Amino acid sequence: MVQALRHGMLPRTLHADVPSSHVDWSPAAAAPAAGAQENRGITVGTVTATDGTTLTVGAILGGTVVVHSTPSTEVLALGGGRIADIAAGYSVFVHGDRNPDGSIVASLIIGGPLDLSGK
């Protein structure tokens, strides 16, 4: 993964065409506890704007998501470990808590200059 990021590429997935036999894929096993995932916020996309504490992300599935950081937000960015190190144009994965307005308070942001357009 690290080498792929250094070369501006996404690594190939391993065995993605066949579900793992080591995981119970039944609906009962896959269903989260009631309400456990209700406020979970995840997005993947390209940063369209940033002010050093907040990102605006063009999600790959469409739409725009505002991502807020806190002092406890973990940032893994190529070239640094602060939200200010994530520039417009970077591709990001964001995990955190979704607000009622659809924005996300990030607990983790991973970003780098990757092309997610598939071109």
DSSP β-bridge partners for residue 75:
109
Report pLDDT digits (tens) over 78-96.
778 888 889 899 999 999 9
Res. 116 pLDDT band, cuts 50 70 90: low
pLDDT at 30: 46
Q: What is the pTM of this model?
A: 0.66
Beta-sheet strands, E only, within the chain = 40-50, 54-59, 64-68, 74-77, 91-98, 104-112
d(CA 102, CA 109): 17
Tokens of residue 112, six digits: 């780098």
Strands 64-68 and 104-112, by their bridges, are parallel
**In this model, does residue 71 exceed pLDDT 80?**
yes
Mean of all residue pLDDT scores within the chain: 78
Q: What is the mean pLDDT of residues 63-69?
A: 94
Of 28, 17, 45, the C-alpha closest to 117 is 45
Res. 45 pLDDT band, cuts 50 70 90: very high
